[in-house]
Amino acid sequence: MSKNKRPGHYQKLQERFPEVLSAVETLGSTVRAAGPIDDKTAQFIQLGVAAALGSTGAVHSHARRALQAGASEEEIQHALLLLISTIGFPKVAAALSWVQEVLDKQ
């Protein structure tokens, strides 16, 4: 996602704490590049954790990033469905609704 399309709260944090947000962004890209896991798989892992935490914003972000990494709508939904026996149906259902919000904006 381009910096001008980031959520308003993120933009405000970036304006107030530019060094911190720059370090966070650099850390994320550095960690993803440090190993053999491809970007799409990395986004699925992060999407799963975001769903487990119940973080709407992180689910939105990693769903968008998974799409940008070449994931299909069906792959994203399946990645979340795989979590039902681990994190429970209510959290998965919520995450699927948040992903649908992203898909509806496509």
| Mean pLDDT (10-residue bins), the chain, 106 residues | 66 94 92 95 98 96 97 98 98 98 95
20 and 42 inside one domain: no
90 and 78 inside one domain: yes
Determine the Cα–Cα distance for residues 100 and 60; give it in Å rounded to an integer.
9
Structure tokens at 101: 């919000």
Residue ranges of alpha helices (H) inside the chain are 8-16, 18-33, 39-53, 56-68, 73-81, 84-87, 89-104
At residue 55, the pLDDT reads: 96
83, 51 contact by CB (below 8 A): yes
At residue 8, the pLDDT reads: 84
46 and 81 inside one domain: yes
Domain holding 95, by residue range, is 38-106
